[in-house]
Amino acid sequence: MTTPQVVAHRGSSAVHAENSWAAFEAAVADGADVIECDVQRTLDGVLVIRHDLAIGDQRVAECAFADIEAMEPGLVHLDELLAWAPRKKIGLLVEVKDPDCAMPVGERVAASSWRERIVIGGFHWPALAAVKARLPAIRTSLMMGSVVAPEDLARLAKAYRADGVHPCWEARSPHPHRLLDAIAIKLLRNAGLTIILWHEERESELLALVALRPDAICTNLPAMLRRIVDMSATVTMTEELAANDRI
């Protein structure tokens, strides 16, 4: 039975600035398996970890790194994060915010000794498909904001040569766990896809998402999700042992 991985959404971002070293270090301490982060490229080609496309009244892609660094000291570089993650033995889910930087991100990941623990995700599927075509060893995941049938998710993933799907449905329902069920998860898994679920911070919803047994779940509160996942795994193991004793 699948035990979902704990994905720290922009690090441990409920208590630290998102996409910061403090958030990333806290995610490790909180027991996360993977850190999700956002990447875009500056005007002079530096790949930076930052979510918002604009800084002030300009786009990050239109600013030199030195100018951004002056406004936001301590901004993390992708190269730094790729060097740091193996030392911490933590996976990475790298969301490409700007499709123009998808290929440079893919090239960096392909050159990393840690590439087996890295997934590149994004909403711009043609950019991800282009990366996959050029660098087939890279793992990609299609991010999807609209609620669609699992059959459609599987079909789209195949069309864009993705290894996984990442429905981002946290705002699509008061109880978004109801948008999927065990049959949908099985269908996607039988299609050879990994399933990463949206970020969630409510304990009741996290309990329901863990029960669906996806491959991974995102959260701003990795310590809470770690506790829920570990508790669920313990209960499952206890039930299996009891069942074996009855045989």
How is residue 137 annotated by DSSP?
T
Number of domains in the chain: 1
Rounded to the nearest integer, the mean pLDDT of the chain is: 94
CATH number for the domain including 15? 3.20.20.190
Q: Let me know the angle formed at the C-alpha of 235 by 211 and 244, rounded to the nearest 5 degrees.
A: 115
Quote the pLDDT of residue 241. 46
Round to whole Å and give the CA distance between 174 and 165.
22
**Residues of the chain whose pLDDT is less than 50?**
237, 241
Per this entry, what is the length of the chain?
247
Structural domain for 36, as ranges: 5-246
Give the separation between CA 52 and CA 157, rounded to whole angstroms: 26
102-114 burial: b if 16+ Cβ within 10 Å, else e:
bebbbebbbebeb
Single out the residue of 161, 158, 178, 160 nearest to residue 169, CA to CA. Answer: 178
Pairing of strands 47-49, 34-41: antiparallel
pLDDT number for residue 242: 54
* Helix, coil or strand: residue 25: helix
